[in-house]
Amino acid sequence: MAAINEVTDLVTEDGIAVLTINSPPVNALSFPVRDGLFHGMSRAIEDASVQAVVIICAGRTFIAGADITEFGKAPRGASLFDVQQMIENAPKPVVAAIHGTALGGGLEVALTCHYRVAVPSAKCGLPEVNIGLLPGAGGTQRLPRIVGPERALEMVTSGEHVPAKQCLAAGLVDELTEEGKLREGAIAFAKKIVAEKRPLKKVRDLNEKVESARGKPEIFADFRKANAKRFRGFMAPDHNIRCIEAAVNLPFDEGMKAERALFQELVTGIQAKAQQYSFFAERTAAKIPDVPADTPTLPVKTLGVIGAGTMGGGIAMNFANIGIPVTIVETSQEALDRGLATIKRNYDNTAKKGKLTQAQVDERMGKLTGTLDFGALANVDMVIEAVFENMDLKKEIFAKLDATAKPGAILASNTSYLDVNEIAAATKRPESVIGTHFFSPANVMKLVEVVRGDKTSKEVIATVMALSKKIGKVAVLVGVCFGFVGNRMLAQRQREAQKLVLEGALPWDIDRVLYDFGMPMGPFAMSDLAGLDVGWNKATSKSSTLREILCEMDRRGQKTGAGYYDYDAQRNAKPSPVVEKVIADFASKQGINTRAISDEEIIERTIYPMINEGAKILEEGKAIRASDIDVIWINGYGWPVYRGGPMFYADTIGLPKVLDVLKQLQAKHGDDFKPSALLEKLVAEGKSFRDL
Ligand code: 3HC
Ligand code: NAI
């Protein structure tokens, strides 16, 4: 075995050179990997005894892409382009041997090899779009030459990881080898192509599929139109599409130039920075300073859920999906039946879309057991309570759980706002109590705020963080405070949105501005969807807020056909002249003089106090880091990932400006805008949230 450098080595067996990359965790194309590939290839080419070369990786995966941490740094050593030229122009066959995931630059390296083999569990993809980029090493020019422009458009704009079997069918992979026997399989394949004297197949020369799409601009126009909503606000998808257009319309080398220019535009832009920040922020959130990675975790093989309502049902599905049996406890047969029927309907809908088989639906439903017997929770490893948001009820349930659950069982509450310490105090084992705040719909939304009580044990925290990842969620650890991180910040926005409406902005103006900012919907459309009557009581309603007045008029949201908006039979929203009049009357009764309100003011009034609240949350230690707050907003509330989250966004505006605007708003509108001490301190020190 000859080491090329610290991360690559080259060994020749029976005329086949095996160039192995070993650069954990994911064999990203860092400077030493590129250099190792370059020098390893050149040595194998020079060695007359070598008849073919196999490029393979050690560890969990084939090359997972460029090393994202190197972006923006001065280039060093062999460039990726140099490596690819060396491989593609090699005078002997080069075979990529793929396991794990060949992603981004990794797949682009494989596409310059003359042949590709993979184990059945491998996946290939060009996920650059998800970090605000496009495949910048020929991926957009080579991929459509194999899979055709239509499939390439889907792959580069979704970033999907395509399973090896599909890759084989599409011609992206030439042969599948036996699982676990990649090295042997790849060497055997290399020997076979040498023996058969197969040509040095260069993907760049395969022109048939791109040429046949030439002169058909409708392919791209239709694709853009069909996906306009999905791509809204993002720069990268359209840049990716333009690259595939270039592959179709230009000769290979010209297409490569177009790809390079478009890549440069993205890589230097703020969206790519925000999306890469978000990629690392999500992974950083899993790291808790005083709960190290080697903290022992508790086995969770069975789960109990209390309450089969909106949240309990969705939560149960997450666990049934990964094969964990769930016991669901309700107070009435009717509520239980309704809850289980909703779950079944959700699974059936997924099956109708072809994403689950009937057998899978049956298997998952088979994991769920409904009961009215609280005692059925005696042996489960973890219980998640999802009953009404009422402290007395939650305390009663936790006291009962304390008497019922086995020692060591994790006792979690899905409360959205309530004090987890107070809930824990209802038990004699507060170390086992934790908050797991899922977001609605709980089977879909990725976020879980994991709420750490004063006495929650480290084992319980480590277990719940790891378990959340296992069920496909992004978990962020937060401290106890009213509404935790997400809802506490949301309350700032909601308050200002309500105030702005009385000052002269209409609900649809505010919704439009926040939608255009990139949020999935504005606060008023959101209220209409959720129902204005959540928490409203007819008996005590006194027309004292706009919401009360609308509920009293039976304008309770989409479900009654009217709320802030009017709705037609298809639930399309239209601005409501009735509501406009209600607002005007209410404002005048309150003695408020309405005025014209600019879009800029709407942003400043609704978003800046959220940033300020985020700073207070950090100051109080309720979130570990600013990036955790951003992860919460992106995954729980649909904050546009291309703006990186509220704290990243604040850094991009510049904290001095944020502070200045808050001070002006404080002077005009009072202490709701009083800047946090942390914000003042950061500005005084010339720092940003990123520096914390
Ligand atoms: N560069 C640098 N570090 C990377 C990386 C990359 N491309 N991909 C993953 N990592 C790091 C992660 O930050 C993490 O570090 P940590 O342990 O210190 O937190 C570690 O590798 C493991 O990553 P995950 O926790 O995500 O591990 P998983 O096993 O869950 O997933 C993966 C592995 C599917 C490879 C996933 O990490 C992934 O999707 N990575 C990004 C792939 C990507 O976007 N590639 C394209 C890069 S851009 C490019 O290639 C440009 C080219 O076209 C020129
Ligand atoms: P829900 O009203 O839809 O469901 C609550 C269920 O609990 C009902 O089916 C009820 O019959 C059952 N229940 C009440 N008392 C019970 C008891 N003693 N034993 C067993 N079951 C009992 O409520 P939802 O929306 O699911 O909320 C549950 C919890 O999740 C609340 O704490 C809420 O704040 C929180 N939450 C709600 C979100 C939402 O968007 N709905 C989002 C995140 C958290």
- Give the number of the ligand closest to the Cα of residue 312: 2
Residues contacting ligand 2 via CB (< 6 Å): 306-312, 329-331, 335, 386-389, 397, 414-416, 437-440
306 Cα: distance to centroid of ligand 2 (angstroms): 8
Q: What is the pLDDT of residue 407?
A: 97
Minimum mean pLDDT range among 75-79, 91-95, 398-402, 575-579 = 75-79
Catalytic residue among 13, 46, 70, 128: 128
Closest ligand 1 atom to 287 CA: 19
> Which residue minimizes the CA distance to atom 24 of ligand 1?
283
Task: Return the exposure string of 640-671: e unless at least 16 CB atoms fall within 10 Å of the residue's CB, then b.
Answer: bbbbbbbbbbbbeeebeebbebbeebeeeeee
Q: What is the pLDDT of residue 161?
A: 98
**Same structural domain, 90 and 190:** yes
> Which residue minimizes the CA distance to atom 15 of ligand 2?
387
C-alpha to C-alpha distance for 228 and 244, rounded to whole angstroms: 17
C-alpha to C-alpha distance for 455 and 434, rounded to whole angstroms: 9
C-alpha to C-alpha distance for 136 and 145, rounded to whole angstroms: 16
C-alpha to C-alpha distance for 657 and 649, rounded to whole angstroms: 12
Q: What is the pLDDT of residue 536?
A: 92
608 Cα: distance to centroid of ligand 1 (angstroms): 32
Q: Is residue 236 part of a domain?
A: yes
Mean pLDDT rounded to a whole number for the chain: 97
491 Cα: distance to centroid of ligand 2 (angstroms): 21
> Which residue minimizes the CA distance to atom 25 of ligand 1?
283
The SS3 call for residue 339 is helix
Q: What confidence tens digit (pLDDT) does each residue in 589-598 have?
A: 999 999 999 9
pTM (2 decimals)?
0.95
Q: Is residue 318 part of a domain?
A: yes
Residues contacting 89, CB < 8 A, separation 6+: none
Q: How many CB atoms lie within 10 A of CB 129?
A: 24
Q: Is residue 206 part of a domain?
A: yes
C-alpha to C-alpha distance for 87 and 40, rounded to whole angstroms: 10
Q: What confidence tens digit (pLDDT) does each residue in 92-140 have?
A: 999 999 999 999 999 999 999 999 999 999 999 999 999 999 999 999 9
Task: Return the exposure string of 29-39: e unless at least 16 CB atoms fall within 10 Å of the residue's CB, then b.
Answer: bbbbbbbbbbb
**Same structural domain, 11 and 93:** yes
Q: Is residue 75 part of a domain?
A: yes
Q: What is the pLDDT of residue 606?
A: 98
> Which residue minimizes the CA distance to atom 38 of ligand 2?
440
**Same structural domain, 381 and 518:** no
Q: Is the pLDDT of residue 1 over 80?
A: no
Closest ligand 1 atom to 106 CA: 50
**Same structural domain, 83 and 212:** yes
> Which residue minimizes the CA distance to atom 28 of ligand 1?
26
Write the CA distances from 121 to 115, 152, 158, 395, integer angstroms: 18, 21, 20, 47
Closest ligand 2 atom to 530 CA: 40
C-alpha to C-alpha distance for 34 and 202, rounded to whole angstroms: 21
Best mutation site among 60, 61, 68 for ligand 1 pocket (most ligand atoms within 8 Å of CB): 68
> Which residue minimizes the CA distance to atom 1 of ligand 2?
309
Decide which of 589, 610, 635 is a domain's last residue. 589
Residue that is written with structure tokens 């942390």 in the block: 678
**Same structural domain, 125 and 252:** yes
**Same structural domain, 351 and 237:** no
Decide which of 220, 243, 267 is a domain's last residue. 267
Owning domain of residue 389: 303-482
Q: What confidence tens digit (pLDDT) does each residue in 509-519 have?
A: 999 999 999 99
C-alpha to C-alpha distance for 347 and 356, rounded to whole angstroms: 8
Q: Which helix (H) or strand (E) holds 337?
A: helix 333-352
Write the CA distances from 119 to 8, 22, 93, 101, integer angstroms: 21, 18, 20, 10
> Which residue minimizes the CA distance to atom 22 of ligand 2?
307
By the 8 A CB rule, do 666 and 679 touch? Answer: no
Looking at beta carbons, which pairs linking 401-406 to residues 24 or more positions away fall under 8 Å?
401/377, 401/427, 402/426, 402/427, 402/428, 402/429, 404/374, 404/375, 404/377, 404/378, 405/304, 405/377, 405/378, 405/380, 406/378, 406/379, 406/380
Strand order in the sheet with 123-125: 101-103, 123-125, 162-163
Tell me the pLDDT band of 508, cut-offs 50, 70 and 90: very high
**Same structural domain, 311 and 421:** yes
Closest ligand 1 atom to 108 CA: 53
Q: What is the number of helices (H) and of strands (E) in the chain? A: 29, 20
CA 147 to chain CA centroid, nearest Å = 27
294 Cα: distance to centroid of ligand 1 (angstroms): 22
Upstream peptide bond of 575 is cis (omega within 30 degrees of 0): no
Q: Is the pLDDT of residue 22 over 70?
A: yes
- 552 as an active site residue: the answer is no
Q: What is the pLDDT of residue 471?
A: 98
- Give the number of the ligand closest to the Cα of residue 306: 2
- Give the number of the ligand closest to the Cα of residue 135: 1
Best mutation site among 387, 404, 444, 446 for ligand 2 pocket (most ligand atoms within 8 Å of CB): 387
Q: What confidence tens digit (pLDDT) does each residue in 319-362 have?
A: 999 999 999 999 999 999 999 999 999 999 999 999 999 999 99
115 Cα: distance to centroid of ligand 1 (angstroms): 24
Q: What confidence tens digit (pLDDT) does each residue in 127-181 have?
A: 999 999 999 999 999 999 999 999 999 999 999 999 999 999 999 999 999 999 9
C-alpha to C-alpha distance for 7 and 61, rounded to whole angstroms: 14
Q: What confidence tens digit (pLDDT) does each residue in 633-642 have?
A: 999 999 999 9
28 Cα: distance to centroid of ligand 1 (angstroms): 7
415 Cα: distance to centroid of ligand 2 (angstroms): 9
Best mutation site among 305, 311, 337, 445 for ligand 2 pocket (most ligand atoms within 8 Å of CB): 311
654 Cα: distance to centroid of ligand 1 (angstroms): 29
- Give the number of the ligand closest to the Cα of residue 83: 1
Catalytic residue among 6, 13, 70, 108: 108
Q: Is residue 458 part of a domain?
A: yes
**Same structural domain, 218 and 323:** no
**Percentage of the chain lying above the pLDDT 90 cut:** 98
Decide which of 449, 482, 515 is a domain's last residue. 482
**Same structural domain, 91 and 171:** yes
CATH number where 372 lies: 3.40.50.720
Beta strands in 563-642 (DSSP E): 565-567, 573-575
Tell me the pLDDT band of 535, cut-offs 50, 70 and 90: confident
The SS3 call for residue 327 is strand
Which residue, among 650, 658, 616, has the nearest Cα to 630 in the 3D structure? 650
> Which residue minimizes the CA distance to atom 30 of ligand 1?
283
Residues contacting ligand 1 via CB (< 6 Å): 25-26, 28, 61, 64-69, 101, 103-105, 108, 127-128, 131, 133, 135-137, 139, 280, 283
Q: Is the pLDDT of residue 426 over 90?
A: yes
CATH number where 576 lies: 1.10.1040.10
- Give the number of the ligand closest to the Cα of residue 391: 2
Task: Return the exposure string of 370-408: e unless at least 16 CB atoms fall within 10 Å of the residue's CB, then b.
Answer: beeebebbeebbbbbbbbeeeeeebbebbebbbebbeee
Residues pairing with 124 in the sheet: 102, 162
- 548 as an active site residue: the answer is no
> Which residue minimizes the CA distance to atom 36 of ligand 1?
64
Residues pairing with 13 in the sheet: 16
Closest ligand 1 atom to 61 CA: 35
Residues pairing with 368 in the sheet: 326
**Same structural domain, 511 and 475:** no
Closest ligand 2 atom to 393 CA: 18
541 Cα: distance to centroid of ligand 1 (angstroms): 53
- Give the number of the ligand closest to the Cα of residue 159: 1
- CA torsion through residues 334, 340, 341, 346, sign: positive
By the 8 A CB rule, do 487 and 447 touch? Answer: no
> Which residue minimizes the CA distance to atom 45 of ligand 1?
65
**Same structural domain, 445 and 532:** no
Q: How many CB atoms lie within 10 A of CB 604?
A: 20
Q: Is residue 135 part of a domain?
A: yes
> Which residue minimizes the CA distance to atom 20 of ligand 2?
330
By the 8 A CB rule, do 84 and 112 touch? Answer: yes
Size (the chain), residues: 692
Q: What confidence tens digit (pLDDT) does each residue in 334-346 have?
A: 999 999 999 999 9
Closest ligand 1 atom to 68 CA: 1
**Same structural domain, 539 and 458:** no
C-alpha to C-alpha distance for 76 and 690, rounded to whole angstroms: 26
Count: domains in the chain: 3
Q: Is residue 641 part of a domain?
A: no
By the 8 A CB rule, do 637 and 643 touch? Answer: no
Q: Is residue 610 part of a domain?
A: no
26 Cα: distance to centroid of ligand 1 (angstroms): 6
562 Cα: distance to centroid of ligand 2 (angstroms): 25
The SS3 call for residue 688 is coil
Tell me the pLDDT band of 72, cut-offs 50, 70 and 90: confident
